[in-house]
Chains A and B, each alone.
Chain A
Amino acid sequence: MELLGLFHYWVFAILLMIGLYAVIAKRNLIKKLIGLSIFQASVFLLYITMGKVEGGTAPIIQTGSAEQLFSNPLPQVLILTAIVVGISTMSLGLGIVVRIKEEYDSIEEDEIQEANKQ
């Protein structure tokens, strides 16, 4: 259990950094957005991991059983809404990329900067 917990956090750190790498090192705008979504997903994972209680169940009260241990509902609420907000803002980003492609005929960062210099 101890190792699994640490493993969750390590995976969070690694995924966060994989996402960050795609955002800073890749020149393709769509790839940057994909990196951003990995970055976002890793934060979701961190929150949900922290909300887990050992031996707990999903926070839904079952009739009949008196003493129940629940996982923390609060991080789940925050992340649930964050996922939907995430896809909406991501599609706004994709919309901007499509408009950039229409104006510059490219979605590569260096080519866009080159076109801007001229």
Chain B
Amino acid sequence: MIELFGIFLLSLMVITAIAIVQTRHLFAAVILTGVFSLLIATNFFLLDAADVALTEAAIGAGISTVLFLSALALTDEHERSSSANKYVALAVVAVTSLILIYATFDKPRFGDPSAPVHQHVAPWFIENTSSQIGIPNMVTAVLGSFRGYDTLGEVFVVYTAGIGVLFLFGSRRTRQNGEPTKSGLDPSEGLRHYLIPRIVGRLLIPFIILFGLYVQFHGEYGPGGGFQAGAIIAAGIILYALLEGEKQALRVLPDRILTGLMAGGALLFGVVGIFGILAGGNFLDYSVLFDNPMTGQQIGILLIEAGVGMTVTGVLLKIFHAFAAREHI
């Protein structure tokens, strides 16, 4: 039964992707991308990747759609010119996909426990999580502790991307508060005049943020952690900004706090690592943080997950505000 459902979802994904590429109307393409993300998130869930499904649903279907829509508002909603070298491109794509499909026949059987991917380092992670870290969620254990270096790098990539957007959008051409836009609608007013989104949104936002905090602090025991929580909390606050206007959202969470979150989270991660060195261990070795190595590991993971959550929330909200404050020319 699950196999059938999987095939159904995968087919729907292909259809959606073709529709996204086909349509000339970029607004429709962006909304379909949200649908596509939701489908792929469901599929991740079927493939036992609960943490990934949570992230993809919050990021792909939520934040990415909002960012694409705000970029569309600043550019164009319609694709003007036709495709370039359509037939050459089609030929290239067709030949490559045939080669790729031919190659899939050599791949290990789906779900085969003896496939090479399950032989390398993964069994060690599965075996040692409970004895070395002592938390049930292996994904969090690998992310926070065993592969802490990698995660630190990813957090800095997110941080750098956030800074990049802020650099691109400088201070020039940013709309002053209260200054009307060309369309005559003031986006800082939000959807305040629309009753239904406002009432439903107000009911939802506290629960979205509460769920985000739960995902943040329960990440060691169930699916969750800093990346997912950061995305969920940012989505909740973006919803608030859409409903109540951007100005009001900046009043609740001022720009200074967002900058602090963005830099503070990455800093917290790095400081926890350096604290390991000072306590006599290696960089990002949490065992030395406490008398009992296992407790030390858990404290370390809790702290760095908090850092990850802060940076992700800060960066996503900063990017959203940078797009939203840009004046359409």
Task: Give residues in A with beta carbon < 8 Å to B.
Answer: 1-2, 4-22, 24-28, 30-31, 33-35, 37-38, 41, 44-45, 48-63, 69-77, 79-92, 94-99, 101-102, 106-111
Contacts and interface: CB of A to CB of B under 8 A. Distances in A.
A49 B312 CA distance: 26
Nearest to B129: A61
29 contacts: A1-B109, A4-B3, A5-B111, A15-B13, A16-B100, A17-B97, A25-B90, A27-B79, A30-B72, A30-B76, A35-B21, A50-B117, A52-B48, A53-B111, A56-B111, A59-B137, A63-B136, A77-B147, A80-B143, A80-B228, A84-B59, A85-B154, A87-B60, A87-B64, A88-B319, A94-B71, A102-B173, A108-B80, A111-B81
Contacts, number: 312
A25 B138 contact: no
A15 B33 CA distance: 13
Interface string B7-19: 1001101100110
Interface centre among B21, B29, B323 (most CB of A within 10 A): B21
A84 B160 CA distance: 13
A88 to B, nearest CB: 3
B75 A30 contact: yes
A74 to B, nearest CB: 5
A83 B55 contact: yes
A60 B139 CA distance: 8
A18 B143 contact: no
B107 interface: yes
A83 B48 contact: no
Interface string B273-291: 0000000000000000000
A31 B168 contact: no
A21 to B, nearest CB: 5
B83 A73 contact: no
Contacts of B130: 61
B64 A90 contact: yes
Q: Is the interface of A mostly helix, strand, loop or mixed?
A: helix
B49 A71 contact: yes
Q: Is the interface of B mostly helix, strand, loop or mixed?
A: helix
B328 to A, nearest CB: 10
A54 B110 CA distance: 8
Given A71-B47, A80-B139, A107-B75, A88 B161 contact: yes
Contact of A54 (B72, B113, B225, B326): B113
B110 A72 contact: no
B56 A14 contact: no
B316 interface: yes
Nearest to A81: B154
Given A34-B30, A59-B138, A99-B169, 7 more contacts: A9-B110, A30-B72, A52-B48, A80-B51, A83-B55, A87-B63, A107-B75
A54 B115 CA distance: 11
Contacts of A8: 6, 10, 110
A11 B10 contact: yes
A83 B329 CA distance: 32
A89 to B, nearest CB: 5
B48 A74 contact: no
